[in-house]
């Protein structure tokens, strides 16, 4: 038995390049449940984008535990702490079990019929008075493919509004856009097996150890194996990943682009370029050369605040590796010049000729478990099937598939991103907003503004959720939803692996699957196709999947060869899966022909500085014709540099024990206890300067708001403070918000990347002020992972007992 709160990654099973990652089956079953009476139901974890295959244990009609699936390519049996313990939220007494409707200012229980009639009446009213542009829909990265696709068809073909986005805008919009800019379409080119054979890993802005715990187990097993890969890490915090690095560059927040230009400068200067590859398979090299020649290591060192020698050393490691895997995440996506920087990560692998070969790839990583599906179904603002909204033939094709007039599909401009949608709601041109499975009242930037928008009387807010979140408390109608384990469906991880999740138990009370709610909405609205038949032709998740897969035929995310039957048993299967590749596709672009043809690509590209959308004629003039595009951009200083009044740079991020705004993980006792309250990380030098020690209460204040939190003196860079973004105005067992200012987003700035429209969460200027002495008691921060204290101050974080790890094979 292991304590997997204390020992986050479990026991090592080292392995060498090219050999199979050994199996280790992790299992956690509630105390007192007779194990031989547990029935297991196939699924996959929904607490990050790694997509670990797992079985759900059921006893007496309720979920009692989970175990990893040994055969699954994503995890070989392993699970992380959130996966092992997070399912307990399903059984929480806080679950919403009946619809709520606001009457005389208060949310009161109502029947489904009453609630849906109200939603439909308001929809009709807004549609009649303002048309489809008065309607907005904001979903999540947590539903299943079938929920998303149903919503996408309703919104695009039925209602006909461009105002549909997902909270994936906050998480992986930049991954999506960087892939489209460089390779022509979305979809990570590589496979997680590339980590098994690589000899060099470049991780920028990606705290793998906490965001993707099981992938980190895989990497740790390589790092402890016979031919350890070299590791270059860029992160302002001294994370576990940074501690393992050969070269760690703790750069100033907001300077990724300068650093990446500097590394490319060195790759060119060192002659570490695959000239044949770049000549035959890329365009844009001369412009890139011209741009990065202005970024010698000395200049970059000054901008980024790290030694020039370390930049040279990093470039040397990256430049001399033979099999390079690069990976990035929110440190790039949620920072300044996000898409421009993410494109440079793609460039590095292209310059090295290291894409589409075993051990050679770039990962524009995802965060949420089903983020990839929002991008495939179009529930995030893309066009369904990775089609191009500027390509009339793509729009006509969708119209044929959906049997609607093509003018019904709103394709006159890029689909509306969430920040713009909230702006429309603020000015009053959106009057109906349906928020599905996400909590913008905690997760969007500059919260006082978001709350005031949601509270407007003229805006009708519908929230579908499993819990009464901070956002649901502001709604006019709340619809209780069935979640993972309580409905069937599919989802896809960051290496394109599709998993089936079976329905294991009944949802509580009257809670319903999101797809069923949407189907009911479409039926009540009498949405029809152009022949007058119902717009949606499916009733079950499996029927929806069949419709979806036909829609993807011939597109990059081709699901046409998949079925629920095929996904049952064994491992998940990576798309494309079709007649040519019936067993799925390990890695894309093995022939180094990319998806940049004008009639196939998902996007014509953008100017990285302004976000100007290129049109078909611009794309034709660029003429990539199957070659990858090396995009270049100059570094610009962040929009809110620290100064005299606000001298610190705020960095927000996650803890290994929590997910988003804790709606689930806060209700799993082990995870809640491991990280029960907000904290702020500060460097020892800064702490000393401000006369602050571990556990002191401070106020962190930006021009927009303030929070109060206890201090953890940690290995964060001088001049940077880190605040986890999980904590809203809610604690387990409390029904009402307590009003304590502790949400990181009280501080953040309303600003977004010009291309991906991803909000900037990583560069805001703040000041820190001591409020009260901690009296020697440590802050509530965990003592593990990135929040590790520099000196021991209290009991070590623990409390995840009862997990079994069963290793098979390997050399452990």
**Cα–Cα distance measured from residue 752 to residue 337, given in angstroms and rounded to the nearest whole number:** 9
Task: Write the DSSP string, 411-439.
Answer: -SSPPPPHHHHHHHHHHTS--EEEEES--
User: Starting at the edge strand that comes first in sequence, how are the strands of the sheet with 23-29 ordered?
Assistant: 39-44, 53-59, 62-68, 23-29, 804-808
Which is nearest to 397 in space by CA: 384, 410, 378, 413? 384
What values do phi and psi take at 458, rounded to 5?
-75, -10
Q: Phi and psi for 452 in degrees, rounded to 5?
A: -70, -30
Nearer to another protein among residue 611 and residue 802 (C-beta): 611
Pairing of strands 53-59, 164-166: unpaired
R_g of the chain, CA atoms, integer Å: 25
Whichever of 28 and 389 has its CB closer to another protein, that residue is 389
Nearest CA to 510 out of 59, 111, 58, 102 is that of 111
Helix axes 447-454, 418-427, angle to 10 degrees: 50
Count of beta carbons in the 10 Å neighbourhood of residue 187 = 29
Report the distance separating Cα 767 and Cα 774, nearest Å: 19
What's the rounded Cα separation, in Å, for the pair 270 and 345?
18
Residue 619 Cβ vs another protein, minimum distance, rounded to whole Å: 12
Contact 331, 365 (CB under 8 A): no
Tell me whether residue 514 or residue 603 sits nearer to another protein (CB atom): 603
Q: How far is the CB of 132 from another protein (least distance, A)?
A: 8
* Nearest approach, Cβ of residue 308 and another protein (Å): 26
Q: Which one, of 382, 408, 387, lies nearest residue 397 by Cα?
A: 387
Task: Enumerate binding residues for another protein (CB under 8 A).
Answer: 130-131, 133-134, 162, 412-414, 416, 419-420, 423-424, 426-430, 607, 609-614, 618, 636, 639, 750-752, 754
Nearer to another protein by Cβ, of 545 and 646: the residue is: 646
In whole angstroms, what is the distance from residue 136 CA to residue 375 CA? 18
- Residue pair 418/445 in contact by the 8 Å Cβ criterion: no
CB of 135 to another protein, least distance (A): 9
Quote the longest CA-to-CA distance of the chain: 73
- Closer to another protein by CB, 540 or 750: give it: 750
Beta carbons of 54 and 44 less than 8 angstroms apart? yes
For 187, half-sphere exposure in the C-beta direction (CA atoms, 13 angstrom radius) is: 29
Q: CB of 180: closest distance to another protein in angstroms? A: 15
Cα separation, 686 vs 88, in Å, equals 40
Q: At what angle do helices 256-269 and 338-351 cross, to 10 degrees?
A: 20
Copy the structure tokens of residue 52: 């670990």
Helix (H) or strand (E) holding 241: helix 240-243
Beta carbon nearer to another protein, 162 or 356: 162
Helix and strand numbers (H, E) in the chain are 26, 28
> Is the backbone of residue 806 left (phi > 0), alpha (psi -120 to 50) or beta?
beta
State the minimum distance, in angstroms, from the CB of residue 598 to another protein. 18
Least CB distance from residue 600 to another protein, whole Å?
A: 22
Q: How far is CA 614 from CA 327, 418, 556, 744, in A?
A: 27, 22, 21, 36
Exposure string of 145-167, with b = 16+ CB inside 10 Å and e = fewer, is bbbbbbbbbbbbbbbbbbbbbbb
Nearest to 63 by CA among 80, 38, 83: 38
Q: Shortest approach of another protein to residue 723 CB, angstroms?
A: 22
Closest to another protein by CB, 55 or 640: 640
133/201 with CB nearer another protein: 133
Which residue, 62 or 130, has its beta carbon nearer to another protein? 130
d(Cα 660, Cα 186) in Å, to the nearest integer? 24
Specify the residue, 322 or 639, whose C-beta has the smaller distance to another protein: 639
In the complex, least distance from residue 413 CB atom to another protein, rounded to whole angstroms: 4
* Closest separation in Å from C-beta 416 to another protein: 8
Q: Please state the closest distance from residue 467 (CB atom) to another protein, in A.
A: 30
Q: Pick between residue 40 and residue 614 the one whose CB is nearest to another protein.
A: 614
Dihedral over Cα of 725, 729, 731, 732: its sign: negative
- Exposure pattern of 28-41 as b/e (b: 16+ CB <10 Å)? bbbeeeeeeebebb
Cβ neighbours, 10 Å, residue 272: 16
**Residue 6 contacts residue 797 (beta carbons within 8 Å):** yes
- Least distance to another protein from the beta carbon of 335, Å? 15
Give the C-alpha separation, 559 to 573, whole Å. Answer: 10
Minimum CB separation of residue 155 from another protein in Å reads: 15
Q: Which segments of 296-373 are extended strands (E)?
A: 324-328, 361-364
CB of 127 to another protein, least distance (A): 11
Supply the minimum distance, in Å, between the C-beta of residue 347 and another protein. 20
Nearest to 192 by CA among 493, 461, 500: 493
Q: Which is nearer to another protein, 292 or 315 (CB)?
A: 292
**Least distance in Å: CB of 456 to another protein?**
8
Closer Cβ to another protein, 610 or 791, answer by number = 610
Q: Closer to another protein at the Cβ: 416 or 595?
A: 416
Smallest gap from Cβ 427 to another protein, in A, equals 6
DSSP alpha helix (H) spans, 321-403: 330-333, 338-351, 371-377, 392-402
| Closer of 61 and 643 to another protein (Cβ) | 643
Nearer to another protein, 409 or 483 (CB): 409
Q: Which is nearer to another protein, 194 or 382 (CB)?
A: 382
For another protein, the closer of residues 41 and 750 by Cβ is 750
Residue 617: CB minimum distance to another protein, A: 11
């Amino acid at each position: 038995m292991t304590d997997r709160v204390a020992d986050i990654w479990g026991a090592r099973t080292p392995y060498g390049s090219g050999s199979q990652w050994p199996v280790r089956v992790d299992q956690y079953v509630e105390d007192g449940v007779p194990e031989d009476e547990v029935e297991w139901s196939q699924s996959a974890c929904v607490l990050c984008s790694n997509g670990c295959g797992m079985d759900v244990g059921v006893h007496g009609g309720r979920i009692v535990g989970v175990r990893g699936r040994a055969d699954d390519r994503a995890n070989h049996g392993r699970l992380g702490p959130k996966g092992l313990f997070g399912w307990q939220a399903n059984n929480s007494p806080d679950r919403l079990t009946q619809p709520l409707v606001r009457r005389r200012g208060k949310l009161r229980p109502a029947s489904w019929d009453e609630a849906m009639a109200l939603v439909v009446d308001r929809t009709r009213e807004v549609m009649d008075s303002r048309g489809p542009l008065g309607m907005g829909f904001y979903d999540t990265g947590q539903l299943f493919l079938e929920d998303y696709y149903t919503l996408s068809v309703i919104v695009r073909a039925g209602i006909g509004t461009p105002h549909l986005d997902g909270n994936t805008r906050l998480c992986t919009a930049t991954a999506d856009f960087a892939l489209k800019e460089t390779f022509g379409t979305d979809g990570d080119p590589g496979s997680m097996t590339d980590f098994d054979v690589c000899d060099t890993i470049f991780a920028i802005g990606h705290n793998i150890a906490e965001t993707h715990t099981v992938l980190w187990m895989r990497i740790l097993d390589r790092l402890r194996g016979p031919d350890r890969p070299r590791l270059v890490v860029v992160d302002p915090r001294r994370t576990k990943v940074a501690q393992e690095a050969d070269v760690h560059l703790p750069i100033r927040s907001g300077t990724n682009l300068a650093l990446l230009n500097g590394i490319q400068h060195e790759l060119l200067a060192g002659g570490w370029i695959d000239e044949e590859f770049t000549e035959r398979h890329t365009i844009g090299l001369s412009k890139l050369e011209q741009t990065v020649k202005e970024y010698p290591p000395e200049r970059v060192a000054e901008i980024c605040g790290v030694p020039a020698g370390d930049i040279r050393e990093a470039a040397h490691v990256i430049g001399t590796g033979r099999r390079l895997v690069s990976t990035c995440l929110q440190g790039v996506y949620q920072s300044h010049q996000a898409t421009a920087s993410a494109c440079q990560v793609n460039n590095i692998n292209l310059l090295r000729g290291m894409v589409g070969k075993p051990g050679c790839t770039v990962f524009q990583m995802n965060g949420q478990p089903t983020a990839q599906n929002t991008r495939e179904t179009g529930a995030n603002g893309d066009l369904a099937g990775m089609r191009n909204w500027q390509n009339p033939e793509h729009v006509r094709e969708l119209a044929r598939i959906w049997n609607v007039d093509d003018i019904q599909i709103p394709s006159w401009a890029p689909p509306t991103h969430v920040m713009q949608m909230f702006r429309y709601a603020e000015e009053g041109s959106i009057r109906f907003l349906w928020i599905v499975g996400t909590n913008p009242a905690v997760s969007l930037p500059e919260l006082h503004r978001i709350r005031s928008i949601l509270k407007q009387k003229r805006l009708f807010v519908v929230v579908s959720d499993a819990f009464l979140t901070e956002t649901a408390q502001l709604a006019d109608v709340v619809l209780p939803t069935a979640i993972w384990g309580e409905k069937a469906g599919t989802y896809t991880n960051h290496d394109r692996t599709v998993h089936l999740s079976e329905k294991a138990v009944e949802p509580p009370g009257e809670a319903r699957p999101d797809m069923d709610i949407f189907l009911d909405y479409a039926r009540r609205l009498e949405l029809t196709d152009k022949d007058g038949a119902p717009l949606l032709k499916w009733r079950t998740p499996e029927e929806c999947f069949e419709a979806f897969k036909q829609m993807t035929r011939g597109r990059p995310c081709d699901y046409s060869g998949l079925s629920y039957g095929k996904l049952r048993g064994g491992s998940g299967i990576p798309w494309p899966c079709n007649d040519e590749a019936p067993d799925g596709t390990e890695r894309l672009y093995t022939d180094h022909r990319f998806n940049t043809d004008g009639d196939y690509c998902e996007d014509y590209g953008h100017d990285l500085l302004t976000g100007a959308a290129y049109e078909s004629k611009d794309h034709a003039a660029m003429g990539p014709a199957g070659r990858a595009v090396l995009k270049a951009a100059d570094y610009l200083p962040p929009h809110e540099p620290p100064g005299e009044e606000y001298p610190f740079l705020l960095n927000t991020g996650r803890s290994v024990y929590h997910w988003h705004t804790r709606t689930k993980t806060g209700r799993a006792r082990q995870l809640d206890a491991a990280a029960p309250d907000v904290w702020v990380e500060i460097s020892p030098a800064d702490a000393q300067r401000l006369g602050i020690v571990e556990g002191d209460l401070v106020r962190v204040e930006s021009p927009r708001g303030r929070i109060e939190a206890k201090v953890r003196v940690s290995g964060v860079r001088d001049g940077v403070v880190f605040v986890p973004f999980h904590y809203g105005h809610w604690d387990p067992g409390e029904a009402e918000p307590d009003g304590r200012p502790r949400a990181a987003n009280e501080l953040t700035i309303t600003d977004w990347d010009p291309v991906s429209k991803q909000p900037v969460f990583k560069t805001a200027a703040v000041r820190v002020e001591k409020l009260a002495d901690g009296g020697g008691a440590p802050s509530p921060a965990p003592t593990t992972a990135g929040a590790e204290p520099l000196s021991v101050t209290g009991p070590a974080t623990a409390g995840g007992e009862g997990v079994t790890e069963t290793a098979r094979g390997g050399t452990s």
